[in-house]
Amino acid sequence: MLRHIISMKDFSNDEIDIILKRAKDFEPIARGKKSSLLSGKILATLFYEPSTRTRLSFETAMKRLGGEVIDLGPVEKSSVAKGETLADTIRVIGNYADAIVLRHPREGSARMAAQFSNVPILNAGDGAGHHPTQTLLDLYTIMRESSLSNLRIALVGDLKYGRTVHSLAYALSMYHADMTLISPKQLQMPDVIKKDLKKQGASITETTNMEDVLGDIDVLYVTRIQKERFPDPAEYQKVAGIYRVTVELLEKAPDNLIIMHPLPRLDEIDPAVDRTKYARYFEQSFYGVPVRMALLAMAMEVV
Amino acid sequence: MKRNEAENKISDGSLKKEMRVRPIKHGTVIDHITAGQALNVLKILGISGTTTAVVSVAMNVPSGVLEKKDIVKIEDRELKETEVDRISLIAPDATINIIRDFEVIDKHRVELPLQLEGVMKCDNPNCISNTVEPVISKFTVNKKPVELRCIYCDHVISEGIAEHLI
Ligand SMILES: Nc1ncnc2c1ncn2[C@@H]1O[C@H](COP(=O)(O)OP(=O)(O)OP(=O)(O)O)[C@@H](O)[C@H]1O
Ligand SMILES: [Mg+2]
Ligand SMILES: [Zn+2]
C-alpha cells in the first residue's frame, strides 16, 4: 500500500517513533556524508503557494540521499493557470515522479490528491489544514534538544489560525504532554481542537500571560501572529507584538528551557535571544532535513 | 384491511385524534419526526408547492407525555436509502412506516450511517470538496451528539445540519 503523509492523525505513536529514530540515523547524511539511498528516484515538488524553507529542505533531503527533484515551477506559468484540476495534475505528475510533495491553499487538498495519485503524496501544507512534516520536525527537535517524555510545553501566539500549532498540539497529546496555551483572548485555540486534544487525554491550561509560566516549562514554542489571517486590520493591531521573548524575560527561565519557532519570525523573538543557551530555532530548521529524509525514504526506498 | 374497515378504524376513538386526514392506501408514513423538522423532511424528499403527490403534514402533534412530534404521510411513494440517510440527520428518532392496503406492513427506525457520501456540503468554504475538483463530499458521523466531520478538511458540522444538505 502507498504510504501517504497527509495528517498527524494518520500516525500511531509507534510509527512516529520509527520516523524519529530513522531521522536520527540520517543526521550525518543531512550534514553532508554521501548517500545513494534514493539514487534513480525522482521527487516532484508542487507548490501552489509560496514556500521557501519547506521546499528547499525537501529538495536538500532528496538530493543528499542521491535522488533527483523536478519542480512544477511558478503556478502562474503552469497548466494550473490554464485551469487544470489538481486531480488531473496529480495523475499526470504521478506518472513522472516516484513521490509528490504538495502544498496547496485548500484544506483537504492533500487527502484528495492521495485518492488520485499512484505515488505517495507528502503534504507540505494544505491551507489552514495540516502540515505533518513540520510537526514531525518539531517533535524531532524536542526529542533531540529536550525530551518527549514528561514534557511540559507552552505554545505561544496565534493558536487560533496557526495550523502548525494545531498539528503539533495534537501530536503532543499523543505523548501526554502537559500543555500551556498562551494567547490573547481573540486568538485562543478553537474549541473543536481542544475537544479533540482532551479526547486524546491531553492536559491543557490556558492563559494570556507568558511570564508566569516560564519557570514551569521545558519548551517554549513561539509562533508568529500572521497579519494575513485577520479579516480586520484593526483587530491585528490590537494583538501585534503582544508577546515578545527578550533576554530580560528569560532571566527567570530554568537552565534547561529551550525556545523553538517554526520561522520565519518577526519581532516575537528578539535577535539578542539567538545568542542565549535557550535558542534552538535554527537547529529546529536544520532538523527538517533529516526528518524529511526519513519520510522520503519511507515513501520511496525499495525494501 | 379494506378501505371501509380502515375508515371504521378512524372513527374509533383511540385513533381519531391522530388521523385528521383520510388514510392512505399505499405509501409511506414518516412518524416521530423531531418537532419543527417536517418541512425539512419535505425538502429532502423534493416535495414543494408544485408537487402532484398526495401529501399530508402534521406538526407539533402531542406525542408521549409532553413531547411533540411532526408527521409526514405520502401516498404512492417509497423512500430511497439516501433519502432515509438525510432524514436520519435531522430527525434521528423518526420511524419509516410502509403502508400497503391501509396497513403498516413494515416499520423501522431511521439509523445514522457511519459515513455520509454526497449528502452534505462541507461548511468550510476553503475545503477542497467545495471546488471544481472531481470529489464527492464525505463525512464521518458521530451519533451522540450528531457531529459530522469532513474527511477532507476535518471541519465539524454540528448545528444547522438541514442547511448543509445537498
Ligand atoms: N393507512 C394509513 N394511512 C395513514 N396513516 C397511517 C395509516 N396506517 C398507519 N398510519 C400512521 O402511521 C403511523 C404508524 O402506525 P402504527 O399503527 O404502527 O402506530 P403506532 O402503534 O403508534 O406506532 P409507533 O409505535 O411507531 O408509534 C401512525 O402515525 C399512524 O397514524
Ligand atoms: Mg405512535
Ligand atoms: Zn471539508
- Buried residues in A282-291 as b, exposed as e (16+ CB within 10 A): eebbbbbbbb
Question: Are residues A281 and A137 both part of a single domain?
Answer: yes
Question: Are residues A137 and A277 both part of a single domain?
Answer: yes
- Closest residue in B to A191 (Cα) is B156
Residues of B within 8 A of A87 (CB-CB) are: 133-135
Give the B-side interface with A, CB within 8 Å. Answer: 124, 126-129, 131-135, 150-156
- Mean residue pLDDT of chain A comes to 93
Question: Are residues A18 and A44 both part of a single domain?
Answer: yes
Does position A237 have pLDDT exceeding 90, yes or no? no
Q: What is the pLDDT of residues A96-146, one digit of tens each?
A: 999 999 999 999 999 999 999 999 999 999 998 899 999 999 999 999 999
**The three cell numbers locating residue B15:** 385513533
Q: What is the pLDDT of residues A30-62, one digit of tens each?
A: 999 999 999 999 999 999 988 888 999 999 999
Mean pLDDT within A161-173: 90
Q: Hey, where are the domains in chain B?
A: 21-109, 115-164
Question: Are residues A247 and A138 both part of a single domain?
Answer: yes
Number of structural domains, chain A? Answer: 2
Architecture of domain B115-164 in this structure = Roll (2.30)
Question: Are residues A259 and A178 both part of a single domain?
Answer: yes
> Ligand 2 centroid vs B24 CA: distance in angstroms?
16
What pLDDT does B35 receive?
Answer: 95
Answer CATH for B21-109 from 3.40.50.450, 3.30.70.140, 3.40.50.300, 3.40.50.10600? 3.30.70.140
Domain carrying residue A280: 133-285
Q: With bands split at pLDDT 50, 70 and 90, how would you rate the model's confidence at B109?
A: very high
- Closest residue in A to B136 (Cα) is A112
What ipTM was estimated for this complex?
0.90
For residue A129, give the nearest of B135, B154, B156 by CB distance. B154
Which ligand has an atom closest to residue B156 CA? 3
Instruction: Confirm or reject: Cβ of B104 under 6 Å from ligand 1.
Output: yes
Q: Which of A10, A88, A109 to mutate to test the interface with B (most CBs of B within 10 A)?
A: A109
Spatial distance between the Cα atoms of A184 and A157, rounded to a whole number of angstroms: 8
Spatial distance between the Cα atoms of A126 and A131, rounded to a whole number of angstroms: 7
Cross-strand pairs, A263? none
Q: What is the pLDDT of residues B11-47, one digit of tens each?
A: 444 555 555 678 999 999 999 999 999 999 999 999 9
Nearest to A201 by CA among A179, A180, A182, A174: A174
